[in-house]
Amino acid sequence: MRRIYDSDALERDDDDPFRPSGRDEPASRSIDWAAFSHAFVPVGLRTRAIDVGVSTNRTVYEVGQPVRIEFEFRNRLPFPIAIPTDSPNVWTWAVDDASEADAVSRTVPDRSAAFSFARGERKRFRRTWCQRIRVDDDEWQPVGPGTYALEVRISREDAHERGLVDRTTIEITNRR
Amino acid sequence: MALLEVENLSVQFYTEDGVVRAVDGLSYEIERGETVGVVGESGAGKSVAALSLLRLIDDPGEIVDGSIRFRGRDVLSFSSDELRRFRGNDVAIAFQDPEAALNPVYTVGEQVAETIRAHGVASGDAARERAISLLERVGIPDAATRYSHYPHEFSGGMVQRAVLAMALSCEPDLLVLDEPTTGLDVTIQAQVLELLEELSSSFDTAIQLVTHDLGVVARRCDRVVVMYAGRAIERATVEDLFYDPSHPYTAGLMASIPRIGDGADRLPTIPGRMADPVDPPTGCPFHPRCPYAEPVCETHRPGLVDVETGEPVADATAPDHLAACHEHTGDLDGGLEYEVLIDDETTASGGGTDP
């Protein structure tokens, strides 16, 4: 599309400082640190830079009580970091082995993406698990009393080896 | 074969917070000359469904499942050239917020004429003449002068009309209107609706009307799809929907329409808020807000069934009255305890719902 300064709509006059300069040039040169970091920081350092955590509001729940889960990802470094991921769903969580409390496979394309952080950035996401596991397209089953592991990981095949995983356990007990 | 057949359409967006399934297994069809309303609260997936028809979903979203057939042709397999011919010529869209849809540094008339030229309908002065006649057709006074005006010189209703003129410029068979009356005052709304009625009868254009205004639906639509959390939860003719709402969400939407002279201190509302798209509830997506929810609603998600027989409908585009509620499959013990009171039997929109 033609810009306004490409048209003849505005009269140019170098003596008049209030006329448009003619080009969208930035006032000063700056470095795109995110692109710089993505190009030059080795993947090993990037993965070590990110701290992954999962926590719950309690450790013991009664049957049927919603479990409030908080996931936290933090860039420890003072410059931007982007971690390449194997999926556009850049992180996932799981109850025992059920990804996102869902035993039914989801349609998420198998293509790479990136999980990006600004310098020192902390990202927090929350979920509420209602103590049910999806067992079919339209059916969920409540879980019984017991100990359950909640895991969060960045979507990379080598997430475990590179420490991009965290786990916590909760206990579900019968109502007193 | 219907003009448009949408079957099991699913659209996802990938955000850092998680996967948003904005449209989940949506099926409906539109016949030639028919007006179908798509209603629901903000965030129900109405606009995403509308954009999907023209494959206008952009990164980070994508259509992950389903099919869209227009006159039997698979829209999802179109090449970019086919898609360019399809957009505008076969299906046109008037976007939500028309003032943002127009380019502020070009005249309105030029933008309408550009559409005509781009689609090869006319060129040069013929495109200009055609644009002026379209602006006249949609009720813009002194269209020849207005052709040279910029969008900021138009009122809200005139901008809406100009966007409609642009959408109609290639005489499409299907017009998708995304909230065409939102932000307009009631008199202008009425004018725009009358215009749509006139246009659909004179051009035999089918219309998909995306709105959250049930009054607009009552007045303009032949059939309605009610959406909630990306899914169709009720599908019916406009009469069936207003006289016999069969999903508690539809009943709640109707109960929250303000009525003059009903003497209520407060407007009834649907408690709670739309399901979190990245963390939707298990079972029926409406159950956390539903006053009639029972334990089965938490663990089983109901599909669309015929409200008379309770049978799932194999043909996803069947024209019956369908609703996705356990009430209709006999799984709800307490039933739906609302009744529909008809205040004025001469108008379909005169019904009141008491949940």
Interface of A with B in 73-112 (CB under 8 A): 88-90, 106-109
pLDDT at B194 (0 to 100): 86
pLDDT at A7 (0 to 100): 54
For the question of whether the overall pTM of this predicted structure is more than 0.90, the answer is no
Residue owning tokens 């449209």: B23
Q: Does B59 touch chain A (CB under 8 A)?
A: no
What's the length of chain B? Answer: 355
What chain B holds in terms of domains, given with CATH numbers, is 1-90+173-355 (3.40.50.300), 95-171 (no CATH)
Supply the ipTM of this predicted assembly.
0.83
pLDDT at A88 (0 to 100): 94
Radius of gyration of chain B (CA): 21
Q: Does B301 touch chain A (CB under 8 A)?
A: yes
pLDDT at B212 (0 to 100): 84
Q: Specify the amino acid at residue B22.
A: A
Q: Identify which has the larger pLDDT, B52 or B156.
A: B52
What's the length of chain A? Answer: 176
**In this model, does residue A136 exceed pLDDT 80?**
yes
pLDDT, mean of residues B285-309: 93
Contact A106 B19 (CB under 8 A): yes
Residues of B in contact with A123 (CB under 8 A): 16
Helix or strand run (H / E) with residue A35: helix A33-40
Q: Does A123 touch chain B (CB under 8 A)?
A: yes
pLDDT digits (tens, 9 = 90+) for A16-53: 555 555 555 555 667 777 788 878 888 889 989 999 99
Which DSSP state fits A14?
T
Phi-psi region of A120 (alpha: psi -120 to 50; beta: other; left: phi over 0): left
Q: Does A32 touch chain B (CB under 8 A)?
A: no
pLDDT digits (tens, 9 = 90+) for B72-110: 999 999 999 999 999 989 999 998 888 888 999 999 999
Distance of CA B313 to the CA centre of its chain: 22
pLDDT digits (tens, 9 = 90+) for B308-355: 888 887 665 566 899 999 999 888 888 887 877 777 655 444 344 554
The CATH homologous superfamily for domain A31-173 is Immunoglobulins (2.60.40.10)
Q: Does B114 touch chain A (CB under 8 A)?
A: no
Cα→Cα distances A77→A41, A50, A123, A154, A168, Å = 11, 8, 14, 18, 25
**In this model, does residue A132 exceed pLDDT 60?**
yes
State in Å, rounded, how far the first CA of chain B is from the last one: 39
**In this model, does residue A11 exceed pLDDT 80?**
no
CA distance B12 to chain A (A): 9
The four Cα atoms A134, A136, A138, A140 give a dihedral, to 10 degrees, of -30
Q: How high does pLDDT run on average in chain B?
A: 88
Q: Where are the domains of chain A?
A: 31-173
Give the integer Cα–Cα distance in Å for B238 and B250: 12
Residues of A in contact with B12 (CB under 8 A): 107-108
Phi-psi region of B25 (alpha: psi -120 to 50; beta: other; left: phi over 0): left
pLDDT digits (tens, 9 = 90+) for B57-75: 988 999 999 999 999 999 9
Contact B18 A139 (CB under 8 A): no
CB A69 within 8 A of CB A55: yes
Closest among B52, B22, B9 to B276, alpha carbons compared: B22
pLDDT at B352 (0 to 100): 46
Query: Which tokens hold the place of A154?
Result: 């960045």
Query: Which tokens hold the place of B240?
Result: 């069936």
Radius of gyration of chain A (CA): 24
pLDDT at A145 (0 to 100): 95
pLDDT digits (tens, 9 = 90+) for B169-195: 888 999 999 988 877 778 878 888 888
pLDDT at B214 (0 to 100): 87
